[in-house]
Amino acid sequence: MHTIPYWRLSGFYFFYFAFVGAMAPFWSLYLRSLAFDALQIGVLMSLLHVMRMFAPNIWGHIADRTGRRVAIVQLAALTCLLAYSGVFFATSFWALFAVMSLISFFWSASLPLVEATTLSHLKERTDRYGRIRLWGSIGFILVVIGLGAALDHHPIRLLLWVVLGLLVGIVLTARLIPEAQIAHHEHEHIPLGHVMRRPEVLALLGAGMLMALAHGPYYTFFTIHLVDLGYSKSLAGWLWALGVVCEIGIFLVMPRVFARLRVETVLLVTLAAAALRFLLIGWLADRMAVLLFAQLLHALTFGAYHASALALVHRHFKGRNQARGQALYNSLAFGVGGTVGSLGSGAAWDGLGAGWTFTLGAGCAALAALAFARRGRAA
């Protein structure tokens, strides 16, 4: 009987997304404390996405050739930790540019390979993915609430030490993940390029790229937006956490949702919800009731979206294409989309203001919904 290494996989997700919980909401505040302007902040934050345009494909290709996904994750995690030590000395724009580029190159290797490993361990029970992934959400919540409260009373430089501890956690938990046997299917002999040319695959990759682009203002400037509106850093942390609490709930119910609805239908709903959410954040974030509702929509725009997108990637990319398929999706969605979203929001923020910057994000989500509605379902 096949035993799923539930806790070992969950532990990695916990620390990986705890790291995201420290970086996404608060790293822009640290950069602003170094007197960088909005464009510089946008450029530096985009580096967390830039390397995902090509690095995951390099790591994914090596992993599919060697079959040693976890070994690559372990090496990349350790190298990322070593590269991160540079942030304690780098304070100029170009010094931080170099350090954050190195961090991103090695950090971006981990998630696609762990996702592929998790799904290989689950075999046909992909509906159980959410119960493992939810521990990442728990890690995010604990860090974003605790760190938000701490930063109201301590210097922003505390963030550097918290992130260091989380990277140590990633290194240690990566060593516990067992390699998974890669399933062999007849589809694995189909060249990767042939799979990518299918209309439904192109629609999925395009929607993923636009969805990540839509989130650019959110991940780069949401905390700054809240602080500028007069909210405290601790309340900003709680608002980030609220979204992720809803994300946990949706991960738990996704197996029942997928039993009743097509995965493509769920994905389409999440894209439309993202357009609404970012319009609300951009124009009505000064109203607490509206802001709370917008954060509740995170259940759809991240939780349900991620679960459905991952299920479709796993469906389309079989056998030894799995790691490269996950890497390709991450490269286009979080790499290209995330980079353009961060850079675009950084360029727009000072000139257009928060409202129109978030509106541009909403427009990208709406365009993704229209494109996926037209071509997202297999013939």
Which of 164, 166, 52 has its CA nearest to residue 110?
Answer: 52
Tell me what percent of the residues of the chain surpass a pLDDT of 90: 54
Per-residue pLDDT, 266: 95
**How many C-beta atoms lie closer than 10 Å to residue 229's C-beta?**
12
What distance in Å separates the CA atoms of residue 114 and residue 49, rounded to the nearest whole number? 18
Q: Is the pLDDT of residue 346 over 50?
A: yes
- pLDDT value of position 126: 62
Q: Is the pTM of this model over 0.85?
A: no
Task: Give yes or no for a contact between 271 and 371, defined as CB atoms under 8 angstroms apart.
Answer: no
pLDDT band at 2 (very low <50, low <70, confident <90, very high): low
Between 67 and 261, the higher pLDDT residue:
261
pLDDT value at residue 173? 94
> What's the mean pLDDT in 331-349?
88
Q: What end-to-end distance do the CA atoms of the chain give, in Å?
A: 36
Point out the least confidently predicted range of 72-81, 174-183, 186-195, 199-208. 186-195
Q: Which of 20-29, 187-196, 259-268 has the lowest mean pLDDT?
A: 187-196
**% of the chain at pLDDT higher than 70:** 93
Instruction: Report long-range pairs for 142-147 (Cβ below 8 Å, ≥24 apart).
Output: 142/18, 142/21, 143/18, 143/19, 143/21, 143/22, 144/21, 144/22, 144/25, 144/237, 144/240, 144/241, 144/244, 145/234, 145/237, 145/238, 145/241, 146/237, 147/21, 147/22, 147/25, 147/26, 147/237
pLDDT tens-digit map of 210-244: 999 999 999 989 999 999 999 998 999 999 999 88
For residue 366, what pLDDT is reported? 97
Distance between CA atoms of 4 and 26, rounded to whole angstroms? 35
Residue range 329-334: mean pLDDT, rounded:
81
Answer for the pair 154, 29: CB distance below 8 angstroms, yes or no. no
Task: Please answer whether residues 181 and 67 qualify as being in contact, where contact means their C-beta atoms are separated by less than 8 angstroms.
Answer: no
Question: Which region among 158-172, 268-282, 296-310 has the lowest average model confidence (pLDDT)?
Answer: 296-310
Q: Is there a contact between 301 and 378 (Cβ–Cβ < 8 Å)? A: no
For 31-44, the pLDDT digits (tens) are 999 999 999 999 99
pLDDT band at 186 (very low <50, low <70, confident <90, very high): very low
The answer, yes or no, to whether residue 190 has pLDDT greater than 60, is yes
Kindly tell me if the per-residue pLDDT of 119 is higher than 90.
no
Maximum distance among all alpha carbons in the chain? 60
Contact 109, 334 (CB under 8 A): no
Q: What is the per-residue pLDDT for 194?
A: 72
Question: Is residue 280 a contact partner of residue 360, using CB atoms and an 8 Å limit?
Answer: no
Q: Which of 70, 130, 63, 146 is nearest to 321 (CA)?
A: 63
Q: How many CA atoms lie within 13 A of 112 on its CB side?
A: 36
**What residue ranges define each of the domains in the chain, with the CATH number in brackets?**
6-180+190-375 (1.20.1250.20)
236-267, pLDDT tens digit by residue?
999 999 988 888 888 888 888 988 999 999 99
Q: Summarize the confidence of residues 114-129 as an average pLDDT.
A: 74
> Which is higher by pLDDT, 167 or 193?
167
Eight-class DSSP state of 157? T
Supply the pLDDT for residue 1: 38
Q: How far is CA 79 from the centre of its chain?
A: 20
The crossing angle, in degrees rounded to 10, of helices 93-107 and 69-84 is 160
Alpha helix positions (H), the chain: 6-33, 38-50, 55-66, 69-84, 93-107, 110-122, 129-151, 158-174, 192-196, 199-214, 216-228, 233-260, 263-284, 288-296, 298, 305-316, 322-330, 338-375
Task: Locate 179 and state its tokens.
Answer: 């390699």
